[in-house]
C-alpha cells in the first residue's frame, strides 16, 4: 500500500537506494540471530539448477508445471500423550511430572471451571455485567502456564483465567476485578474478566481482538535487547488469527527473531462463526509454517501434552531467540460469552456429545486415578471446598466500595492535564453544592475521594 | 514509466508556482546539503526542519538507550524523507529498525515495546498510511495507562508527515490533527519551524505519555534560523504551550503547522497595505491546546481567525471557534472566523489542488472582510 511515497521521495531528494556495504569486522552482533542482507554479488555457475532470487534463495528450477495444492499436503499432526480414556498412548513416554505438580494443575482446572459456572450465573442474576467462561479450554491455559518460568511475560486474550490461576492470582483478586471494587488493579475502568497483574507479569487484557499479538512481539524485542533469560507468551483464539494484527505480528516476530511463544487456542468457533468459515487451509499451524516459524499442533484437551509442547517451545524461543507457534486444539463447550446463545448456531446435542466424549478435566482425572494419585472421594471434597472458597471471595468483593471518584480523571495522562484538573474541581463543587443529589456512600472515601 | 512522467510534469509545475512563504524556500527537489548561513550575532544558524528533526532524534538516541526508531525504510534507506539519515550507522540495527510493510504491525510492536519499558519512536512514512494502525495508536497506545489503573505507562512517539504535500492526491493528502486531537490519553504536537520541530520532537520522546507528532512534508526542506540555545542538546519545548510568532493588536490569527508561515506572510501584507497589525499565534500543540494564550490575545485584538489546512467539519478551527464562544465571546467585536481546506478529497491536478487549500491571499481577504478594510 505504500510503494508510491518512497519512490517519489527518493526522486525528489536525489538520493537513490544504495546498499550500505559494511567494512570488514563491523558485522553487528545481534544475539543468536544475525539479520543477513544479501550484499554479496550473485555467482551463478553455468548449468546451475537454481538462481539466488532474493525472495526465494533455496528454490530449484523444474520443468514440471505444477501448482501446489494444499489438499495434497498431509495435515499437520496433533501431538498428544494421554488419550481420551486417560491412558498414556506410548508407554515409553509417561508424562514427566510429580504428583504434587499434577495435582496442582488438576485443582486449578477444577477451580477455574467452578468459578466460571458461578460467575456465569451471577451475570445472569445481574450482579456483574459480563463474563466469559473457558469451559473445555482449561487444559490449554493451565498446561501452558505450568511450562513457563514465573517471570515470563504474558499477553492473554480473555479466555485464559487458568493461566492467572496457575500463577497465583487469588480468588479475591479475581472477584475484585469482576466487581470493579476499590481493590481492582484497573480501578474499575475495564470490563469484567479483563484481568492484569504486575506481580505475575501479566499485561492488562485488551478487548480489541489480536492487538495483543504485536504487543507481545514488541515486549519480546525489549527482552531480546536486554539479553534476558525470559520470554513472552501470547494467547489468542483461532478467530483472532484472521485479524491483520496476527499476520503482521508473526511476520515481524520472524523477521526480527523475537523470543515469543504464540499459543493459539483453536476451539472451533469465533463467537458463532465455525472454523470452516473462518479459514481455509490446515488450521492456524499452517500459517506459522508460512511465516517461517517453528510450529507444532497439540491436543489441547491433553494437559500433559500441552505442558510438554510449551516447555519445548519455550526452550526454542529462549535458546534460539526466535518465535514459536503452538496451535492447541479443543472445543468451546460454552457459549462465547454471556452475550451469546450458541444454540442458535449449533445443536445442543453436538455440545453434549463433546462434553461426554472428551474434556481436559475428566481426561486428567482418569489419568490421575489410573496412577492412584486421586480418587472420586477426594474429587467431591475438592469441589465442595472450592465452591465454598469462591462464594466467600465473591461475597467479600461484592460488598466492597467502588473505586474513589478521583479515578474517573486520574491516569488519562501520567500527570493530569489542566483540563482534567478543572473538571475534577468542577465536579467537587457541584457535589458540595447539591449534597442531597449525590449518594457517595458506595465510593471509597466518599466526597473526599475527589 | 508513468510514475516518471508524472513526476517530471510535477517538477515543471512546481517551478511555475509562486513561492508560498518569504523565508528562503528550499524545495525537496534540491540537494539535501543546505549551505548553512552563520549569523554574526547570537550564534544562530539556519536549519532545515529535516535537519532539526534528525538532530532531535540523534540527541535522544544518544541520551537514552531505551529510545529506538522503527518504521518502513528508516534504517538502510535513511527514511523515505531522509529524516533518519545517518542514524543506522551511528546507532546500529538493534535500535534503528526497518520494518516489514505493515503499519498496524510495527505500530503494535512499538506499543508492546513501550509497555515493556522502552521509548520507541514509530515513523509512519506519512500519517495517511497510519489509518491502518489507528486501533493500535488509540485503543492500545492512548488507553492502556488509564485502563491499567495507572500502572502501565506507554511512552511512545508516533511521527511522520501529515496533511497535503504537492501532487500526491487524496489518499496522501489528509490532515489528521482533528482525529488524534479528539482522543483523551494522547498528546498531539504540530511543529512549524526548525526550533518547533526539534524542541517538540524531543519533548515528545521524553514525555511518559503517547505523543503524536504531525510534521509537514512541505516544511522538511525549508530552512529556519535556529537560536544558539535551540542548538544545544538539552533544548526542549513544553507540550501544550503556543508561541506568539508576531505581536499585533488588531486581529488574532491562530494557525498550526505550515499555515503559521502563510499567516506571517499575510500579516506582513496587511501591515504594508493597511497598517494593520495582526498577531500570529503558532499553536505548536493541538492537545493539550493552549486556550489561555488565545484568550489573552483576543482580549487585546477583539478579532479572531483560526487557520488550518484540514477539512472544515469537526476540525481544529471548529474547536477553536467553539472555545471562542465559551471563553472569548465578550471580547469579540465580530464573529470569529475560520479559514480551512476545502471539504473535498484533495485532487491531484495542480490548479485544483491549489484551490483546495488556503493561501496567503485568502487570509488577507478574510481579514479585510472581518475588519472592514
Average of per-residue pLDDT across B274-278:
98
Residue A297's CATH number:
3.40.50.970
CA-based nearest residue in chain B for residue A12: B29
Question: For residue B369, what are the CA distances in angstroms to B336, B360, B364?
Answer: 12, 14, 9
At B34 the pLDDT is: 40
Q: What is the pLDDT of residues B169-180, one digit of tens each?
A: 999 999 999 999
Same domain (yes/no): B77, B152: yes
Cβ neighbours of B14 in A, within 8 Å: none
- A413 reaches B (C-beta below 8 A): yes
Q: Is residue A85 part of a domain?
A: yes
Whether A194 and A337 map to the same domain: the answer is yes
A90–chain B nearest CA distance, Å: 41
Q: Same structural domain for residues B82 and B157?
A: yes
Compare CB distances from B149 to A10, A153, A186 and report the shortest one's residue. A186
Determine the pLDDT at residue A57: 84
Residues A146 and A265 in one domain: yes
Q: Is A365 in the B-facing interface, judged by CB distances under 8 Å?
A: no
Given a cut of 50, is residue B7 above it in pLDDT?
no
For residue B103, indicate whether it is catalytic: yes
In percent, how much of chain B has pLDDT > 90?
87
Whether A341 and A410 map to the same domain: the answer is no
B270 CB contacts (<8 Å, ≥6 apart)? B276, B277, B278, B364, B367
CA atoms of B148 and B143, how far apart (whole Å): 8
The rounded percent of chain B whose pLDDT value lies above 70 is 89
Q: pLDDT value at position A43? A: 65
Alpha-helical runs (H) found in A226-302: 244-255, 275-278, 285-290
Window 156-215 of B: residues touching A by CB (8 A cutoff) are 168, 172, 184-185, 187, 208-209
Task: Say if residues A185 and A233 touch (Cβ distance below 8 Å).
Answer: no
Q: How many domains does chain B contain in total?
A: 2
Dump pLDDT digits (tens) for B196-238: 999 999 999 999 999 999 999 999 999 999 999 999 999 999 9
> Are A362 and A395 within one domain?
yes
Name the domain count of chain A.
2
Return the pLDDT at A349.
Answer: 86
Structural domain that includes position B80: 23-231
Mutate: best of A31, A35, A236, A256, partner B, most B CBs <10 A: A256
**Residue A62 counted as domain residue:** no
The reply to whether A187 and A263 lie within a common domain is yes
The pTM score is 0.88
Do residues A251 and A382 share a domain?
yes
Same domain, A276 and A356: yes
Active site residue A207: yes
Would the CA dihedral through A314, A139, B148, A241 be positive or negative? positive
Domain carrying residue A438: 405-449
- A424 and A445 assigned to the same domain: yes
Compute the distance between CA of residue A431 and CA of residue A427 in angstroms, rounded to an integer: 6
Residues B263 and B219 grouped into a single domain = no
pLDDT digits (tens, 9 = 90+) for A256-307: 999 999 999 999 888 888 888 899 999 999 999 999 999 999 999 999 999 9
Question: Quick check: is B6 in a domain?
Answer: no
A421 and chain B in contact, CB less than 8 A: no
Whether residue B109 is found in the same domain as residue B40: yes
Query: How many Å apart are CA A271 and CA A371, to the nearest integer?
Result: 38
Q: Are residues B85 and B205 in the same domain?
A: yes
pLDDT for A30: 35
Would residue B68 count as lying in a domain? yes
The model's pLDDT over B90-106, given as tens digits with 9 standing for 90+, comes to 999 999 999 999 999 99
Same domain, A327 and A416: no
| Gap between the Cα atoms of B213 and A448, Å rounded | 38
Residues of A in contact with B322 (CB under 8 A): none
d(CA B7, CA A12): 9
Angle CA B54–B56–B62, to nearest 5: 100
- The mean pLDDT value of chain B amounts to 90
**C-alpha to C-alpha distances, B219 to A70, A209, B223, B237, B258, nearest whole angstrom:** 51, 38, 8, 19, 7
Which pLDDT score, from 0 to 100, does residue A37 have? 54
Q: At A63, is the secondary structure helix, strand, or coil?
A: coil
Give me the interface pTM, i.e. the ipTM: 0.87
CB atoms near residue A16 (< 10 Å): 8
Q: What's the mean pLDDT in B303-317?
A: 97
Same domain? A140 vs A170: yes
A10 touches chain B (CB under 8 A): yes
A3 lies in some domain: no
Residue A408 has a CB neighbour count (10 Å cut-off) of: 18
Of B172, B195, B279, B308, which one is the catalytic site residue? Answer: B172
Residue B169 lies in a domain: yes
**Distance from chain centroid for Cα B349:** 24
Residues B225, B247: one domain?
no
Residue ranges of chain A with per-residue pLDDT less than 50: 1-36
Q: Is residue B74 part of a domain?
A: yes
Predicted confidence at residue A41, as pLDDT, reads 58
Q: A334, A133 in Cβ contact below 8 A?
A: yes
- What is the structure's pLDDT at A6? 37
Confidence of residue B29 (pLDDT cuts 50, 70, 90): very low
* Domain shared by B30 and B176, yes or no: yes
DSSP state of A82: B
Amino acid at each position: 500500500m505504500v510503494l508510491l511515497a518512497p519512490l517519489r521521495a527518493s526522486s525528489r531528494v536525489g538520493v537513490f537506494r544504495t546498499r550500505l556495504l559494511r567494512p570488514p569486522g563491523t558485522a553487528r552482533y545481534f544475539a543468536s540471530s544475525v539479520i543477513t542482507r544479501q550484499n554479496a554479488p550473485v555467482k551463478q555457475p553455468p548449468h546451475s539448477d537454481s538462481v539466488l532470487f532474493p525472495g526465494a534463495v533455496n528454490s530449484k528450477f523444474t520443468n514440471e508445471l505444477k501448482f501446489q495444492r494444499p489438499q495434497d499436503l498431509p495435515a499437520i499432526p496433533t501431538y498428544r500423550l494421554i488419550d481420551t480414556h486417560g491412558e498414556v498412548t506410548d508407554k515409553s513416554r509417561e508424562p514427566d511430572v510429580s504428583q504434587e505438580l499434577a495435582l496442582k494443575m488438576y485443582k486449578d482446572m477444577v477451580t477455574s471451571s467452578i468459578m466460571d459456572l458461578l460467575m456465569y450465573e451471577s451475570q445472569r442474576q445481574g450482579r456483574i455485567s459480563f463474563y466469559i467462561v473457558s469451559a473445555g479450554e482449561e487444559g490449554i491455559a493451565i498446561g501452558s502456564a505450568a511450562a513457563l518460568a514465573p517471570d515470563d511475560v504474558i499477553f492473554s486474550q480473555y479466555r485464559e483465567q487458568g493461566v492467572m490461576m496457575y500463577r497465583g492470582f487469588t480468588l479475591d483478586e479475581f472477584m475484585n476485578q469482576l466487581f470493579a471494587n476499590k481493590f481492582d488493579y484497573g480501578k474499575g475502568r475495564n470490563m469484567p474478566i479483563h484481568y492484569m497483574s504486575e506481580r505475575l507479569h501479566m499485561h492488562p487484557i485488551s478487548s480489541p481482538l489480536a492487538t495483543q499479538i504485536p504487543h507481545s512481539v514488541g515486549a519480546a524485542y525489549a527482552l531480546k535487547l536486554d539479553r534476558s533469560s525470559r520470554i513472552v507468551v501470547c494467547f489468542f483464539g483461532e478467530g483472532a488469527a484472521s485479524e491483520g494484527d496476527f499476520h503482521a505480528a508473526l511476520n515481524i516476530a520472524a523477521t526480527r527473531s523475537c523470543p515469543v511463544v504464540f499459543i493459539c487456542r483453536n476451539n472451533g468457533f469465533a463467537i458463532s462463526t465455525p472454523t470452516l468459515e473462518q479459514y481455509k487451509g490446515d488450521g492456524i499451524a499452517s500459517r506459522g509454517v508460512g511465516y517461517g516459524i517453528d510450529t507444532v499442533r497439540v491436543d489441547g484437551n491433553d494437559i500433559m501434552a500441552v505442558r510438554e509442547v510449551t516447555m519445548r517451545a519455550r526452550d526454542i524461543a529462549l535458546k534460539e531467540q526466535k518465535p514459536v507457534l503452538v496451535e492447541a486444539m479443543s472445543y468451546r463447550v460454552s457459549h462465547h460469552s454471556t452475550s451469546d446463545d450458541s444454540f442458535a448456531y449449533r445443536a445442543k446435542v453436538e455440545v453434549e456429545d463433546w462434553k461426554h466424549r472428551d474434556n481436559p478435566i475428566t481426561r486428567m482425572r482418569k489419568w490421575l486415578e489410573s496412577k492412584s494419585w486421586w480418587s472420586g472421594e477426594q474429587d467431591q471434597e475438592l469441589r465442595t471446598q472450592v465452591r465454598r472458597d469462591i462464594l466467600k471471595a465473591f461475597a467479600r468483593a461484592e460488598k466492597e466500595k467502588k473505586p474513589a471518584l478521583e479515578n474517573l480523571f486520574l491516569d488519562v495522562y501520567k500527570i493530569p492535564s489542566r483540563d482534567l484538573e478543572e473538571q475534577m474541581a468542577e465536579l467537587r463543587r457541584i457535589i458540595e453544592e447539591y449534597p442531597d443529589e449525590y449518594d457517595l456512600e458506595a465510593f471509597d472515601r466518599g466526597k473526599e475521594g475527589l | 514509466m508513468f510514475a516518471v512522467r508524472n513526476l517530471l510534469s510535477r517538477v515543471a509545475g512546481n517551478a511555475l508556482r509562486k513561492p508560498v512563504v518569504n523565508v528562503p524556500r528550499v524545495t525537496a527537489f534540491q540537494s539535501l546539503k543546505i549551505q548553512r548561513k552563520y549569523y554574526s550575532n547570537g550564534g544562530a544558524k539556519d536549519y532545515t526542519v529535516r535537519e532539526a528533526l534528525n538532530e532531535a532524534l540523534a540527541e535522544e538516541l544518544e541520551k537514552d538507550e531505551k529510545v529506538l526508531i522503527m518504521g518502513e525504510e528508516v534504517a538502510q534507506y535513511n527514511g523515505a524523507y531522509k529524516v533518519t539519515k545517518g542514524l543506522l550507522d551511528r546507532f546500529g540495527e538493534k535500535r534503528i529498525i526497518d520494518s516489514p510493510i505493515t503499519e498496524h504491525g510495527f505500530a503494535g510492536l512499538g506499543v508492546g515495546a513501550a509497555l515493556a519499558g522502552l521509548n520507541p519512536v514509530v515513523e509512519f512514512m506519512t500519517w495517511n498510511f497510519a489509518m491502518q494502525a489507528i486501533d493500535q495508536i488509540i485503543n492500545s497506545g492512548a488507553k492502556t495507562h488509564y485502563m491499567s489503573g495507572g500502572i502501565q505507562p506507554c511512552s511512545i512517539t508516533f511521527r511522520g508527515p501529515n496533511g497535503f504535500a504537492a501532487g500526491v492526491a487524496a489518499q496522501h493528502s489528509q490532515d489528521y490533527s482533528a482525529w488524534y486531537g479528539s482522543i483523551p490519553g494522547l498528546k498531539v504536537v504540530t511543529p512549524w519551524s526548525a526550533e518547533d520541530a526539534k524542541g517538540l520532537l524531543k519533548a515528545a520522546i521524553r514525555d511518559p505519555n503517547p505523543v503524536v507528532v504531525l510534521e509537514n512534508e512541505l516544511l522538511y526542506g525549508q530552512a529556519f534560523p535556529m537560536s544558539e540555545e535551540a542548538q544545544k542538546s538539552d533544548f526542549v519545548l513544553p507540550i501544550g504551550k503556543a508561541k506568539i510568532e508576531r505581536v499585533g493588536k488588531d486581529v488574532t490569527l491562530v494557525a498550526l503547522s505550515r499555515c503559521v508561515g502563510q499567516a506571517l506572510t499575510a500579516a506582513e501584507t496587511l501591515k504594508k497595505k493597511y497598517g494593520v497589525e495582526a498577531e500570529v499565534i503558532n499553536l505548536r500543540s493541538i492537545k493539550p491546546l493552549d486556550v489561555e494564550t488565545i484568550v489573552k490575545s483576543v482580549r487585546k485584538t477583539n478579532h479572531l481567525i483560526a487557520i488550518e489546512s484540514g477539512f472544515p467539519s469537526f476540525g481544529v478551527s471548529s474547536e477553536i471557534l467553539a472555545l471562542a464562544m465559551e471563553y472569548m465571546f465578550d471580547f469579540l467585536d465580530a464573529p470569529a472566523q475560520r479559514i480551512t481546506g476545502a471539504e473535498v478529497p484533495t485532487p491531484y491536478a495542480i490548479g485544483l489542488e491549489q484551490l483546495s487549500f488556503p493561501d496567503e491571499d485568502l487570509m488577507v481577504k478574510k481579514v479585510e472582510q472581518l475588519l472592514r478594510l
